[in-house]
Amino acid sequence: MPIIYLSPSTQENNLYVSGGTEEEWMNRLADAMVPYLTAAGIRYTRNTPEMTAASSIRASNAGNYDLHLALHSNAAPEGQYGQVRGVLVFYYPGSVQGQRAANLVANGLKTIYPLPNLVRAEPTTSIGEVRRVRAPSVFLELGYHDNPDDAAWVKNNLDAIARSIVLSLTEYFGLPFLEPQAPRPAVVDVSWGYLNIRDKPDTRSAVIARAYDGARLTVLNQWQGWYVVRFDNVVGWASGDFITLL
């Protein structure tokens, strides 16, 4: 299964014009993304508010991630406070996968941001979480937190923004987008020894774990005869024909 490094802002001194901080609202957005990520079987590692951009970069580079996703909101230059709006989605120039992911995310956000012409994907070499991470990177600037309308858009649309971003990620990774469901306990029911758990709902995809007959697992979602399951610390796809819900 794909795994991302999820890096909401740690900038606690960047104040929203209507209350709260960039760190607070981007972490709330990350919280809203988690059920959608889990539903789609996208694994993640997440930074913490105590970290910095530098330590987030180090943590990302210490792992083997398919995408680095940074969540931020923007601020206008001095003299233009409150006057600028828009969503920017940054990627590293020359990164084919980073650009593809950024374009997908930007196109998705255009459908929910009130001024879609102000949503764009752009290359950059000036942002550390784009330039210095090993994985393909997408760095989001979700509106301007010094602008009352943009601040209100973020605060009032956390679920819609989270859903849009994860929908774009499922397209990027070639996975079905699924609405969150309550986890259900289940047991493997096979007669030949074990059940293959795969990284995608396809019998040709890679086997990432094997669950033996009688093994307990958790069903997170289902799609066309396949289950998204958690087995030990592994999240993957398994055929529903050989799983019994408890």
**Segments forming the whole domain that contains residue 227:** 184-245
Whichever domain contains 163, its CATH number is: 3.40.630.40
Could you give the angle at the alpha carbon of 30 between the alpha carbons of 28 and 31, nearest 5°?
A: 60
On whether both 25 and 101 belong to a single domain, the answer is yes
Which of 173, 204, 220 delimits the end of a domain?
Answer: 173
Number of compact structural domains in the chain: 2
On whether both 146 and 110 belong to a single domain, the answer is yes
Read off the pLDDT of residues 98-154 as tens digits, 9 standing for 90 and up: 999 999 999 999 999 999 999 999 999 999 999 999 999 999 999 999 999 999 999
Whichever domain contains 225, its CATH number is: 2.30.30.40
On whether both 75 and 33 belong to a single domain, the answer is yes
- Token code pair at residue 24: 């607070």
Q: Mean pLDDT, to the nearest integer, of 155-177?
A: 97
pLDDT for the residue 148: 98
pLDDT > 90? residue 1: no
Which of 173, 205, 235 delimits the end of a domain?
Answer: 173
On whether both 60 and 121 belong to a single domain, the answer is yes
| Nearest-10 crossing angle of helices 158-173, 22-40 | 50
Higher-confidence position of 91 and 233 = 91
- Token code pair at residue 167: 């929908």
Residue % of the chain over a pLDDT of 70: 100
Which of 173, 192, 216 delimits the end of a domain?
Answer: 173
pLDDT > 90? residue 167: yes
pLDDT for the residue 87: 98
Question: Strand order of the sheet with strand 207-212?
Answer: 207-212, 194-198, 234-239, 226-231, 216-223, 184-188, 243-245
On whether both 188 and 167 belong to a single domain, the answer is no
On whether both 236 and 201 belong to a single domain, the answer is yes
On whether both 109 and 213 belong to a single domain, the answer is no
Q: By mean pLDDT, which of 63-67, 111-115, 147-151, 178-182 is the weakest?
A: 178-182
Mean pLDDT estimate for the chain: 96
pTM comes to: 0.93
Read off the pLDDT of residues 37-59 as tens digits, 9 standing for 90 and up: 999 999 999 999 999 999 999 99
What type of residue is 239?
S
